[in-house]
Amino acid sequence: MKRLTLTISSLTLALGLCSPAVLAERLAVLADKVHTQAGPVIERGVVVIHQGKIEQVGRQSDIRLPAGTRTLQAAEVTPGLIDARTVVGLAGYLNQPHDQDQLETSTAMQPQLRAFDAYNSRERLVDWLRSLGVTTLHTGHGPGALISGQTMLIKTQGNNVDAGMLKPLSMIVAQLGPGAFGAENRSPGTRAKQMAMLRQQLMKASEYRDKQGDGDKAPARDLELEALAEVLAGRTPLLITAYREQDIHSALRLAEEFSIPVVLDGAAEAYLAIDAIKAAGVPVILHPTMARQFGELENASFTSAQQLHAAGIPFALQSGYERYVPKTRVVLWEAAMAAAYGLPPEVALGSITIEAAKILGLDDRIGSLEPGKDADLVLYNGDPFEYSSRVTTVIINGEVVSDTAH
């Protein structure tokens, strides 16, 4: 009976947290430091939340809270963290075939595979990352094929894919280099074959797009070519995983040849191609700072983030894809390590908040603490990058979704 009572109480609390009455109430987060990512850090700051949006941000001494305002306390507050490249929700923590939907290997190119058809909102890794301050995921199909599928943008909130959806199609995932060579005796087996196959398919998609207005002569629908036509139209970036310098240059040539939007993923040897990346105006979703340095990442550097920042190249950090349990890294820790290796701390924080939001095209909604933006906040009991600090409370759309403060 005691267990039943506790279960009912917990259910009542959970329902209450997301009820219209709770969402309508005004909530104020008071902190010693507020990292807005829209300006300087605010000492003794406050963030006021109303109806799921940020209403006010400023110094506690300058903002008068209406009577009845609920308050939360923290040592420091940041915007909700954004994982700019992950496979969480498709790759499960059990690491068994039944929960590994991030890669389909029957053929080399499958741009039509939708991330949200495979995403599991109840996957434990989603809950785990949310408890560590990650409020938004750019997740989808992983590396391992020439074109493995699509990515999407979703908040780590809700029990089904529709509940937290921000954008069902964000990018289309490609990979250059040995990581996407086909199995033995299958294409593509070399870098030259990879590029030839990509160019051929993009040209085919261009012809398909041009014939769509031919009335009765228009070709039958082709989901693969439709997806690539979105890339050619500039509406969907091609996210190209390229670790080696030569593969980075190949990705940049492809972007120039077809005038398509490209985002570099991984880019372990980006420091060798700084000038070319900057000239191309291509943003980078950099490999995790602590990525294991072997194989194509054998020349990865702990200081790559600092070098990209110094060159003025837009970049974000990611958790990436791990082949072993628990299947994901945590971007907060990766950013902390980048700060330890020369990246200014506020810039490191920006790489997992506002700069990630800009690259993903969502900076009008998330990534910084500004009036009118979604009320996604992370509360800490100390410096976010201090090893002994911990996340105490996570707020998404004005709702407290994780609270270990008490």
| pLDDT at residue 217, rounded to an integer | 82
Secondary structure (DSSP) of 321-372: --SSTT----HHHHHHHHHHTT--HHHHHHTTTHHHHHHTT-TTTSSS--TT
The residues, ordered by sequence, that sit 6+ positions from 347 with a Cβ below 8 Å of its Cβ are: 309
Q: Decide if 346 contacts 314 (C-beta within 8 A).
A: no
CB 37 within 8 A of CB 368: yes
Residues 68-93 as b or e (16 or more Cβ within 10 Å = b): eeeebebbbbbbbbbbbbbbbbbbbb
Confidence of residue 7 (pLDDT cuts 50, 70, 90): very low
The bridge status of strand 165-167 relative to strand 147-155 is: antiparallel
What are the boundaries of each domain within the chain? 15-79+369-403, 81-359
Q: What is the pLDDT of residue 20?
A: 55
pLDDT per residue as tens digits for the range 190-200 = 999 999 999 99
Minimum mean pLDDT range among 5-14, 195-204, 208-217, 382-391? 5-14
Q: What is the DSSP letter of 115?
A: G
What 3-state class would DSSP assign to 97? helix
Q: Give CA torsion, residues 317, 319, 323, 325, to 10 deg.
A: 150
CA 138 to chain CA mean position, Å: 3
Omega of the bond leading into 326 within 30 degrees of 0 (cis): yes
pLDDT in tens, 346-370: 999 999 999 999 999 999 999 999 9
Q: Which of 45-59, 215-229, 276-290 has the lowest mean pLDDT?
A: 215-229
Mean pLDDT over residues 9-33, rounded? Answer: 64
pLDDT-derived band at 322, boundaries 50, 70, 90 = confident
Pick the CATH number of 81-359 from 3.50.50.60, 3.20.20.140, 3.30.1490.20, 3.60.20.10: 3.20.20.140
Q: Can you read off the two tokens belonging to residue 15?
A: 């329902």
Quickly state the pLDDT bin for 342 (edges 50, 70, 90): very high
Task: State residue 3's pLDDT score.
Answer: 41
Report percent pLDDT > 90 for the chain. Answer: 88
Specify the range with the lowest mean pLDDT, choosing from 27-31, 118-122, 216-220.
216-220
Burial (CB count within 10 angstroms: exposed 0-12, middle 13-18, buried 19+), residue 41: middle
Lowest mean pLDDT among 16-25, 221-230, 247-256: 16-25
Q: Can you tell me the distance from the alpha carbon of 264 to that of 204, in angstroms, rounded to the nearest whole number?
A: 23
Query: Per-residue confidence at 4, pLDDT binned at 50, 70, 90?
Result: very low
Q: How far is CA 386 from CA 75, 333, 336, 339, in A?
A: 12, 9, 8, 11
Q: Is 15-79+369-403 a CATH 2.40.40.20 domain? A: no
In this structure, the number of other CB atoms found within 10 A of the CB of residue 5 comes to 9
pLDDT at 25 over 60: yes
Per-residue confidence at 406, pLDDT binned at 50, 70, 90? low
Contact 27, 398 (CB under 8 A): yes
**18 or 161: which carries more pLDDT confidence?**
161
* Statement: residue 335 has pLDDT above 90: yes
Q: What is the mean pLDDT of residues 365-378?
A: 98
Q: Where are the beta strands (DSSP E) in 196-283?
A: 238-242, 262-266
Q: Facing residues of 238 across strands? A: 172, 262
pTM given for the model: 0.93
Q: Tell me if residue 267 falls in helix, strand or coil.
A: coil
Q: What is the pLDDT of residues 35-84, one digit of tens each?
A: 999 999 999 999 999 999 999 999 999 999 999 999 999 999 999 999 99
Under 8 Å CB-to-CB from 154, ≥6 apart: which residues? 89, 116, 119, 136, 137, 139, 161, 164, 165, 166
pLDDT(19) > 70: no
